Amino acid sequence: MAESIKILTGNFDVPGIEQLDVYRKNGGYAGLEKALKQMSPDEIVEEVKKSGVRGRGGAGFPMGMKWGFLAKPEGVPRYLVCNGDESEPGTFKDHYLMMKSPHLLIEGMIISSFALGANTSFIYVRGELMYVINILEKAIAEAKAAGLLGKNILGTGYDLELVVQPGGGAYICGEETALLESLEGKRGNPRNKPPFPAVKGLYQCPTVVNNVESISTTPWIVLNGGEEYAKVGIGRSTGTKLISASGHVKNPGVYEIELGLPVEEFIYSDQYLGGIRDGHGLKAVVAGGSSVPILPKDLILKTAAGEPRLMSYESLSDGGFASGTMLGSGGFIAMDETTCIVRNTWNFSRFYRHESCGQCSPCREGTGWMEKVLYRIEHGKGNERDIDLLVDVAKKIEGNTICPLGDAAAWPVASAIRHFRDEFEWHVKNPEAATKKGAVYQPELSLA
């Protein structure tokens, strides 16, 4: 099989790529040179629009369009904020990217800041990754010493200060308005929208918030052109995507894939995950981070219509939530038949309960209720009405909150019941068997 194109990670295995001189020797900062010396900010925005690259944090909103919304009132500073808060369970691709190749992100930040007309930009990184923050700060100091940051970058008259900001341990700060609140030194409570950050963001000034991976595509796009980028991938899922794979696979880790790769090939090919660990079979997959609907093996490999499922925004969501899911952040969690779906769903619901900021009642109360009900089902104290109660609570959270955390909490529960209802029923009907250590529902035994 041919090596697939690497837009982001092509030189990640070069020893010392985190250092400026090695990064430059391997083509680094060529995109920046071109952007600053040969292109106008509007031309860069145009190339990003043409590339069709979509937000890689999870929402998948076209980045060029987001840039196009930025308000540009006279005399008001504009900001670019990079979202490196990566906290969605199953997702560790930005962690990997920043740790491996800090200069790729920094180069992307300078290009993007120039395109947007920002002179102070921020990289907000989750506080737990303090060692990655240190890597970034070291790289920023190197770039500054080499005239790539600070005043009069590369002699072009463009000035940029780049600040790395640590978070404090809060999933909610991955939501862009919560992130801005946090960056202002406040609790991470999402803001009501509108106004959107493009009009009133950081310090009430026009702001663009983009994910680490999204920003890191800009050096390649500038060098090769947006049209070239759009040739990679499939349909409206242009380019490549970093997928962070975890769970019961032979080769967990971070992979750069061309969008459109068949899910089956991704899971079973030795070039990627190498299949499920020895002696076991695939049971279910959460394809895009813990928030997206879980799918059983049959539906992750093929759509309900029997088409091969592809790693793309469109194919993964084919069938809607009845039989599909989402690409999300690319946090790909594979589970084999030893996995108890009820326990995993309870675990995820505990996460969302813990991470709800508490601002909106449906989410604050609903996540708590779902966790409590799932806890009692998992621990042999549930009853049959609990299953419908969960579906009901999930429905009442969804769409009724300021930010998407409520939806993110509701979807895993609703989808687990949609696709694995038997397993929930087995728990409430057979509490003794279901609470034995390591007990997992086996369909063929349930008839006995």
Which one of residues 9, 83, 246, 317 is an interface residue with another protein (CB under 8 A)?
246
Report the site for another protein in 68-107 (rule: CB under 8 A). 77, 86-92, 94-95
Crossing angle between the packed helical segments 102-116 and 41-51, to the nearest 10 degrees: 120
d(CA 217, CA 9): 10
Which one of residues 12, 171, 313, 369 is an interface residue with another protein (CB under 8 A)?
171
With binding defined as CB under 8 A, does residue 288 bind another protein? no
Find the Cα–Cα–Cα–Cα dihedral 168, 171, 175, 178, rounded to 10°: -40
Write out the two tokens for 273: 């995950």
d(CA 380, CA 433): 9
The residue among 165 and 317 lying less far from another protein, judged by its C-beta, is 165
With binding defined as CB under 8 A, does residue 348 bind another protein? yes
Cα–Cα separations (whole angstroms), residue 315 to 88, 235, 287, 302: 21, 10, 12, 10
Closest CA to 107 of 220, 267, 4, 201: 220
Q: Are the beta carbons of 80 and 96 closer than 8 angstroms? A: no
14: CB partners within 8 A, 6+ apart: 22, 26
Cα–Cα separations (whole angstroms), residue 410 to 34, 249, 349, 390, 398: 46, 27, 8, 9, 6
* Burial group, residue 72, by CB count within 10 angstroms (0-12, 13-18, 19+): exposed
The residue among 48 and 286 lying less far from another protein, judged by its C-beta, is 286
Given its phi and psi angles, is residue 183 left (phi above 0), alpha (psi -120 to 50 degrees) or beta? alpha
Q: How far is the CB of 435 from another protein (least distance, A)?
A: 14
| Binding track over 290-319 against another protein, x by CB under 8 A | x-----------------------------
The residue among 92 and 424 lying less far from another protein, judged by its C-beta, is 92
With binding defined as CB under 8 A, does residue 141 bind another protein? no
Number of residues that bind another protein (CB under 8 A): 57
Which one of residues 247, 260, 366, 406 is an interface residue with another protein (CB under 8 A)?
247
With binding defined as CB under 8 A, does residue 12 bind another protein? no
With binding defined as CB under 8 A, does residue 256 bind another protein? no
The residue among 34 and 250 lying less far from another protein, judged by its C-beta, is 250
With binding defined as CB under 8 A, does residue 211 bind another protein? no
Task: List residues near another protein by CB under 8 A.
Answer: 77, 86-92, 94-95, 120, 126-131, 134, 161, 163, 165-171, 182-188, 203, 244-248, 252-254, 286, 290, 331, 333, 335, 339, 344, 347-348, 350-351, 354-355, 357
